[in-house]
Amino acid sequence: MAKKQEYTIEFPINCSTSVLYNLLASSDGLSEWFADKVDAVDNVFHFSWDGGSPDSAEVIDSAENVFIRYQWEWMDEGEFFEFRIESSDITKENILHITDFADKGEVDDQITLWESQIKELKQRMGA
């Protein structure tokens, strides 16, 4: 199987670091914009869309208010998706960096999906 390609995209987000981190790292926050339903048991999050069966991801690394890294149960070792928050000294906004993996031919589609998800996140925040 071909190794997936890592890519990173970034989005300016105008809210406090702690509020943004909560939306990225808690089941309540993630259910606001990422999935229809999110349950967490210890470090494993179970995501459901449209009433379907849950897809699970484990938190494999994190630093509060800085980043959180998840690994889907079906991902190969070394693959993950990560939300990283960086504060811009110039604009005073937070920059959300998303790192993910996709097959080479699917990177553009995955970026489009993330753009849609972040649009939902910003709408939920009223930004």
**CATH numbers and ranges of domains, the chain:** 5-125 (3.30.530.20)
Strand pairing class (67-72; 81-87)? antiparallel
* CA distances to 3, 5, 62, 78 from 23, in Å: 30, 26, 14, 24
Contact predicate 3/78, CB 8 Å: no
Confidence check: pLDDT of 103 > 60:
yes
pTM: predicted TM-score of the whole model, two decimal places: 0.92
How crowded is residue 38: how many other Cβ atoms within 10 Å of its Cβ? 19
Confidence check: pLDDT of 74 > 60:
yes
Q: What is the pLDDT of residue 85?
A: 97
The pLDDT-based confidence of 38 (bands split at 50, 70, 90) is very high
